[in-house]
Amino acid sequence: MALLFFSIGFVTWLNGPLITFVQLAFSLSDVAAFLVPSCFYLAYFIFPLPATLLARRVGLKAGMAIALMVMAVGTALFGECVTGRWYPGALAGLGVIGAGLSLLQVTVNPYVTLLGPHERAAQRIAIMGTANKFAGILAPLVFAALVMRDIGGIATLVRAAPSAAAREAILTQFTRAVHAPYLFMAVLLLVMAVWVLRSRLPEIGIGAEVGAPAEGRDGGLFLLGLGVFSTFLYVGVEVMAGDAIGLYGRSFGLSLDVTKYFTAVTLAAMLAGYLAGMVIVPRLVSQERYMGVSCAMGLALCGAAWMTTGLLSVLCVALLGFANAMIMPALFPVVMRAMGRHADHAAALLVMAFCGGGVLPQVFVHLARSCGVQAAFVGVAGPAYLVILAYCGLMLRRRARSPEALSG
């Protein structure tokens, strides 16, 4: 399972450096370049319900294998279209990868949630998250080494090109570096699909009872909706901290050769947050309370990012990775627990909410054109943390009134 989370992280967190890459390769504006996370994450809105039906029909193991095969197709398509310098085709490839990840998320997250006691679900997801974020640290570093070694120099050559033909020749050579790494990833994903099918992973029903009845009364459906919306906001903020940090750094005049590593810094902070959460939850504090602490930390870092400039402000954004780490590991099991035997529906809705990773970055980049990158980032991220904190408070009050509703 950790290997599957590693593959999810590696493919997902390539989006940060890809924004910088496609902006140069296709001569794009900030808004057009940010279509990379939009196309990738909007697939999560379209495909989770069909993916849930497929998982019910073929089973979790086969569903995971099919997901990896779809991801392999999307990865190969992206590499081919980038090499051919066709941006719409490259975006389509990212959408196919997102479709495969939708199916993988619909099966993987409930699987880990239901694999043991509810009160340790956040801890289990945090363990999986370490694999995910370790891959996220490696992905931009590997991409920078293989594809973006001298991106600052290439950008200078493009600007100084004596003719349009010379400029196109430089960019064509630049984009060819993507082909072999993405073809290798596609083959690796296919190998993993075969490995999953042949593995001895136990079958666990996606709709398995998680210890509590569905709570349609006493605001249960309202809390489900707020939990899904909180997930939407959380994923958007997580993607902004990881993928938009390059643009954030460039707004202070930092060079491309420096900003291409910023996504890895955010993911390193997130990995540290997972490791801390594995020690603290639930040994010292419940997953719900730690989620509240994480949101408060996110608000504090947003304030610090607003009041500082340059590398110090960038560091505050990177440290949002630490604050973000334990929000999703708490959100997912709490919402699924509240839905009881309808956990499969909750899982599909939660994965659909991952489309926030495509929406909030677009809101941010459009706002940045009118009010500046720093103000736009804080203006989007701050209110998102407030909403998640409010949901956390409601769930803690519900638990205080009825402890059995949230603790196994």
Q: What is the DSSP string of 243-300?
A: HSHHHHHHTTT--HHHHTTHHHHHHHHHHHHHHHHHHHTTTTS-HHHHHHHHHHHHHH
pLDDT of residue 408: 39
Q: CA 319 from chain center: how many Å? A: 16
In angstroms, the CA 315 to CA 301 distance is 9
- Six-digit token string for 162: 């004596």
252-to-18, 45, 133, 246, 256 alpha-carbon distances in Å: 20, 34, 27, 10, 12
In angstroms, the CA 23 to CA 172 distance is 14
- Six-digit token string for 383: 């209110």
pLDDT of residue 211: 43
pLDDT of residue 215: 46
- Chain position carrying tokens 């999986």: 128
Kindly provide the b/e burial profile for residues 136-154, where b requires at least 16 CB atoms within 10 angstroms of the residue's own CB: bbbbbbbbbeebbeebbeb
Please report the domains of the chain, with CATH numbers, ordered by start residue. 2-198+210-405 (1.20.1250.20)
pLDDT of residue 27: 92
pLDDT of residue 405: 46
pLDDT of residue 210: 42
- DSSP assignments along 88-133, one per residue: HHHHHHHHHHHHHHHHHHHHHHHHHHTTS-GGGHHHHHHHHHHHHH
Residue 339 in contact with residue 225, Cβ under 8 Å?
no
Give mean pLDDT in consecutive 10-residue pieces for the chain, a chain of 408 residues. Answer: 87 90 94 94 90 82 90 96 95 95 82 71 76 86 88 91 92 92 95 90 58 47 86 96 95 91 92 87 84 96 97 97 90 72 71 93 96 97 96 84 50
pLDDT of residue 318: 97
List the alpha helices (DSSP H) in 147-219.
151-160, 164-176, 179-198
pLDDT of residue 207: 52
pLDDT of residue 334: 77
- Give the pLDDT confidence of 190-230 residue by residue, as tens digits: 999 999 888 887 776 555 444 444 444 445 678 788 989 99
pTM of the entire predicted model: 0.83
* Residue length of the chain: 408
